[in-house]
Structure 1
């Protein structure tokens, strides 16, 4: 976060570099490998889909640990982080920055990219990238001022960020071909987005006093399985208490409640709907209005 505070082009230069790099790589792949549109499915392809399902939460979990520099020496950690940031499309640097805001300001609607208070789950799943950009923009203007120059920088950041995502999608399409892009990459990506979103949604709760609290979830077949695959992803309270531990399920759990955010004003929000209800309730938008956030 210190580099972000000191360098107004910290994210812009990263996105531009990604655009150039992946544009060149995609051109080379297209020239020498070409586009594969084969979709002749075989019976054993079901194993590929199964592998994508089994890996749900693993790439995001390791990327998350890379953000905390928990994956070996600095060079190895960052190399793995860059690979997984490419796999998840949004990039290692932006993810790390947004995640550091989440740890420094957990559940604070002004600077946490994904406080689940007031969100329906479906809206929460599709909101993190946009919400993170809003938080980063807010912090950027706080550090560098809100003027024509900084607004132009933010606009370019968004443009190159979106172009870099499109180029990474094309990159993975060229790498896998249409068939394995559809039956391996897409399920892997969607399930990772779902699991990582649910970890944050389900473990950041509103307690009986209306305060935000972070909890661990470990009971039940689903939580046991995902905690195994994701190295303790749902042990979120443990993770916030000791983020430098690779697998927070190995930590002895504290008996004390972890209160992450106490609202200064009444922030009554809609009760959470069932996970699969098709509601698009935007909690951050509601809280921003209540708190007079731009």
Structure 2
């Protein structure tokens, strides 16, 4: 966050570097590989789908924790974060800043990048990306001024960001081929995106008084399975209280949890 506040080119330089790196990778794949469009479907091709679906949940978990610096040794946060960011068609740098703003301004209808209140799940997934971009732009103007230079920088950021997304799609298609892209990468991205969206949508709500609250979800087949695959990701209330814990279900690992004062005892089981 501090670098985003101080450096007006913090995102722009990053997106340009993404374009440079993935352009090189694409050229290398074109030179190395001979066949990019072979589409020979076999029975094994369909086995890639469930593997991809499971991997997407792992990617979401690792990407999220890397943004918090929860992976050890710490150098792996950048490595894992950038790899997961490439799979997610996003970037570690902008994801981290947006996610930190979510933690700072949780459920604020203006400042939270993706507040779910008053939206259906479909509306939430359709608007969350643009809402996040809008919040980041507002913060950029707050930090660096709403000037012609800032507006030009934002325009360049958006162009470079969108171009980097296209390059990442091309990279995965060339690397995996049509079968791997549609039967493996597609399902991976699907569960990454929908898993993240569902977790955030279902974990923020309103109580009987209309006040914003967060929930932990566990129990039953669905939440038991999802907490297993996402390292306790649906313990979202715990996560907001202890963002430095890789698995927020395991608050028993915290030294502070030995004191009743710090315990979270109102876990919601759904």
Q: TM-score, normalised by structure 2?
A: 0.92
Give the secondary-structure state (helix, strand or coil) at the position aligned to 1:213.
Answer: strand
SS in 2 for 1:246: coil
The 1-side partners of 2:212 and 2:156 are apart by: 35
Aligned to 2:215: 215
8 Å Cα contact 1:23/1:167 also seen in 2:
yes
CA separation in 1, counterparts of 2:123 and 2:166?
22
SS at match of 1:202: helix
* 1:2 pairs with 2:14: no
Instruction: Note the C-alpha offset of 1:161.
Output: 0.3
Q: Deviations over 1:37-83 (max 9, x none)?
A: 12221112222112112234110111000001001123211111111
What residue number does 1:228 align with? 228
Q: Distance in 1 between matches of 2:100 and 2:211?
A: 21
* Residues 55, 229 of structure 1: 8 Å contact kept: no
Question: Are residues 1:198 and 2:208 paired?
Answer: no
Number of the residue aligned with 1:121: 121
Instruction: Give deviations 1:86-144, integer Å, cap 9, x for gaps.
Output: 11011111111100001111111222111101111112123332211101000011111
Question: What TM-score does the superposition give when structure 1 sets the normalisation length?
Answer: 0.84
Q: Does 1:60 align with 2:52?
A: no
Shift of the alpha carbon at 1:35? 4.7
Q: RMSD value over aligned CA atoms?
A: 1.5
Aligned partners of 1:56 and 1:226 also within 8 Å: no
Residue 164 of structure 2 aligns with which residue? 164
Please give the alpha-carbon distance, in whole angstroms, between the structure 2 residues aligned to 1:216 and 1:76: 28
Identify, as 1 or 2, the structure richer in helix: 2
Q: Distance in 2 between matches of 1:230 and 1:199?
A: 10
Alignment partner of 1:245 is 2:245: yes
- SS of equivalent residue, structure 1 residue 44: helix
User: Within 1, Cα distance between the matches of 2:226 and 2:156?
Assistant: 38
Give unpaired runs (5+ residues) of structure 2.
253-262
The answer to whether the 8 Å contact 2:49/2:184 transfers is yes
Output the CA distance in 2 between the equivalents of 1:158 and 1:132.
Answer: 13
Would you say 1:255 and 2:269 are equivalent positions? no
Is the CA contact (8 Å cut-off) linking 1:61 and 1:231 kept in structure 2?
A: yes
How far off is 1:171 after superposition?
0.6
Q: Residue 249 of structure 2: SS of its match in structure 1?
A: helix
Residue correspondences, number? 258
The 3 A distance-change label for structure 1 pair 2 and 35 is farther
Corresponding position: 1:47 with 2:57: no
